[in-house]
Structure 1
């Protein structure tokens, strides 16, 4: 799916919810779709502040909250006050570097069966799940090798 198609689709969802499309809102959405870095609200603010000098960090947070409520952005909270935000149109998982904190999407369809298996094994009605794998990314591995 192209970036423009994703932006257009998200804009249509906002319009359907009677939400005004401001230039700041559009820019935040576009940045989320383009970045693939799972940015924090501060990352987004720093990237866009030159285009919108009157925009506050609160504006970024409020829009991210709105996008999360509508359902096309997922907040990835790690308990250390560094929530990252992920624009998503399909279920996926994450590999997270323990050194540089880079987050990479992992698309592995077989993991979708985890909910059904968990329901069968536990009797729970599963509403959602999240899978994160932690390790050292190739860039950090290379840095470690070079340091030796």
Structure 2
């Protein structure tokens, strides 16, 4: 089945790429709505699913939270902030990880993997430090 690249899909792809981050459907909707004011959130969700199924974008379900979408479909891993839920790429030596996965596969044939790290992003760390300093000075 060949799907055509509609104007809506093209704009969604462009805005996701332009963002340089891992947007939720709601965040992407807010961006796309500035260009196509009459676009519905359901249309954005539907087109994101289609683009994901076509492997033109990646769908992330990081930390069991709201789905996020990534323009970069290459093999890479993510880290997310447990405070603000921001998602970023994390650089790993995938060859070393593959070796560990192959050694501990317990009879499985490994076809791929995704590593997910959790932490506190630099912005949230700054906010937390400011709050701690404020409380200490009171």
Could you say whether these structures have the same fold, taking a TM-score greater than 0.5 normalized by the shorter chain as the test?
yes
RMSD between superposed Cα atoms in Å = 1.8
**1:96-135, CA deviations, whole angstroms, 9 ceiling, x for partnerless residues?**
1111111111122x22443453234322111221111111
**1:31-59, CA deviations, whole angstroms, 9 ceiling, x for partnerless residues?**
11121221111111111112212211121
SS of equivalent residue, structure 1 residue 134: strand
Aligned match of 1:65: 49
5+ residue gaps in structure 1?
Answer: 1-16
SS of equivalent residue, structure 1 residue 53: coil
Q: What TM-score comes out, normalization by structure 1 length?
A: 0.78
Aligned match of 2:28: 44
Instruction: Name the CA distance, whole Å, in 2 between partners of 1:132 and 1:36.
Output: 19
Q: What TM-score comes out, normalization by structure 2 length?
A: 0.83
How many residue pairs end up in the alignment? 130
The higher-RCO structure (CA 8 Å, 6+ apart) is: 2
Q: Map residues 25-40 of structure 1 onto 2, 5 A cutoff.
A: 25-40=9-24
Aligned match of 2:82: 98
Instruction: Name the CA distance, whole Å, in 1 between partners of 2:125 and 2:23.
Output: 22
* Larger Rg, first or second structure (1 or 2): 2
Aligned match of 1:12: none
